[in-house]
């Protein structure tokens, strides 16, 4: 089992977190956490991030109502990236779309089955 001490933060004290819909695997967004927001996320059962632009803590859905209930939180094999599996309510992206990864493909095509 991984512990909080196993998380490897970057020079700014941050770790990237990929946020995924727990039941579909849909990648919703990527954000940053510091040690405090990791602990708050686990304690509150919802995602809490660090805003690099505002230099402050922000809780997903705090103003929009588009919340993320935490289902699981995992570290990758190196401990330098986190994966938050959540139950997303509403849009995950600040633009109002379900995911931040909509309509901005850089390369390739996906064949529909």
* Interstrand relation of 56-59 and 82-88 (parallel, antiparallel or unpaired): unpaired
pLDDT of residue 62: 92
Domain ranges of the chain: 4-88
Q: Which residues contact 69 (CB under 8 A, 6 or more apart)?
A: 45, 46, 86, 87, 89
Q: Mean pLDDT of successive 10-residue segments in the chain (113 residues)?
A: 91 98 97 98 98 96 94 97 97 93 86 71
CATH 3.10.20.810 fits 4-88, yes or no: yes
pLDDT of residue 19: 98
Nearest residue to 29 (alpha-carbon basis) of 18, 13, 44, 40: 18
pLDDT of residue 113: 65
């Amino acid at each position: 089992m991984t512990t909080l001490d196993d998380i490897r933060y970057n020079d700014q004290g941050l770790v990237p977190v990929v946020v995924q819909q727990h039941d579909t695997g849909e990648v919703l967004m990527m954000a940053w956490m510091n040690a405090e927001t990791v602990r708050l996320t686990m304690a509150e059962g919802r995602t809490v991030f660090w805003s690099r632009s505002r230099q402050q803590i922000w809780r997903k859905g705090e103003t929009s109502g588009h919340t993320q209930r935490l289902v699981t939180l995992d570290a990758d094999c190196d401990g330098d990236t986190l994966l938050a599996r959540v139950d997303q309510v509403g849009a995950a992206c600040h633009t109002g779309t379900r995911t931040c990864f909509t309509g901005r493909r850089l390369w390739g095509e996906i064949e529909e089955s």
